[in-house]
Structure 1
């Protein structure tokens, strides 16, 4: 049931073998509900929430999530140790399984507030923040970061950052295998233009075997995941898991030795109907939910018609569940209900 009530902390840390990356405007609670239908085990992350928004804004609105989304991590954006400590306590109160500090976002807005990727230039500040967060909560505190930023992009710079933050108590580092170029590139360009250096992430695990190293950046297939898992402790997928969510239906069999929770895309979407209806009754516009469903039939016959019907009708005044039901009729349901290969 959707709400803000705390739930008991997990008896152990969530598995980070397969994670879905935090993505602004994308990994909302509506997307996470869909993702959890597809995989019981993938670790999900919220969008980045700034400490200022939580302290001075509508805290319950920012932290609201559905109990079915667990295991679920809250990603924080901030640079003040006391504020991060306070928000880490909130993460525990609201039932999250992990609190993660963003040290990778390259946008101008977060730079101007001294949060995100620019913090890689201030490893002592990150260490102070992590130390305060760990003291404030029993939740695992993790850091998501780049391999460097312009001006601090050497291997030694990266090692200095990891060593200082790990000395503060962090044992899990989620590493986007690109530098962030803070001057001259947009956030979108920073996700594509700086070259991927997966070998640097592998080297981190070799140099610091006592740390948990999760690799992120440009990963699209399970074959690529398998290769990365030979060198690291876990993988994190972002855009591919969003634009092609059915990929997640193969996660439990491929990485956790469990059966898939759903057999078909149709079954998955029908399972969302009660949730969609409850959100509509709560006053949520259909487009806020339906935009996360557009990729569910990616590459399937009728998938284009499915997307078009939703895009043309979900924004209309009074649009309800019937829009999704009609769109679903435009995609033929397979006779063989065995799960398709992701």
Structure 2
């Protein structure tokens, strides 16, 4: 198969979808790999390293899309890429269709085969291609939250861990999944008082067992959240419904209950956000303020630490990408249910229920494709 790796062009997206080590693996299996020039530069990989691994370097993104049977990316195609996508071309990347109606319609119109990292799912319901970036984003959420809590950045002016004789900050984490767990561990490690809320009592029991003494667990419901936001200095949103729009757990009216200078970090922004007042921001302009509350809603947080993120992501995606290249997407998805669950839009049809529900589009059962 002919594999194409374009340079990411989303605002301040510095990751790359394939490392030179990944190129070597594709070449060992007899595949041809084309990489756009400087695609890996921001992640620490030179064109020379890709060439030595067996890739061919192409000058433009148009050339990469034009020649490839499978495009491997990190983030969803943006508008300037739509016209480059060919009928039946396989795109393997993060899509997050439920947060973007224009992207959904564009991929339907291009009749592409869209296999989304975020909905590839194991039998235990874990999301193997979302986990590594959720780990990065969860840890980053605390770093960024701590930074924007500083007074010159618009925050309340509180140190997460406090000092002797001064109480630490209160951190509220919405969701006890990968993002929430990593956020809580980081915040607790810095000395903050942390509260995690989740709707699963079993998950809360598990977190209660593994977390340090400065982490409390509380059942997630509207009443409890309204009470907790009153004393929170930093709120981290990490709720997820795979492939579907995130629920709004923090409503607009709750902002009036918060202290001025409270910081909210919405890690769920890729799936529409879990705060009613969330709107996607970029690393270039990461924050905005509503009712005195600072919102950080960067949609590609791990792009700020591309070396770590690229290695973490490609460690997870490469085995799946090799299956797709070795067998072709139809055979690979037919034989591997994990990959089959990653199919979202195929040749003009929406085959993932969460996407059809999000935009009220006709749904086709993925089994009809095989």
Higher relative contact order (CA 8 A, sep 6+): 2
Q: Which structure is larger by alpha-carbon Rg, 1 or 2? A: 2
TM-score (norm 1): 0.29
TM-score, normalised by the number of residues in structure 2: 0.28
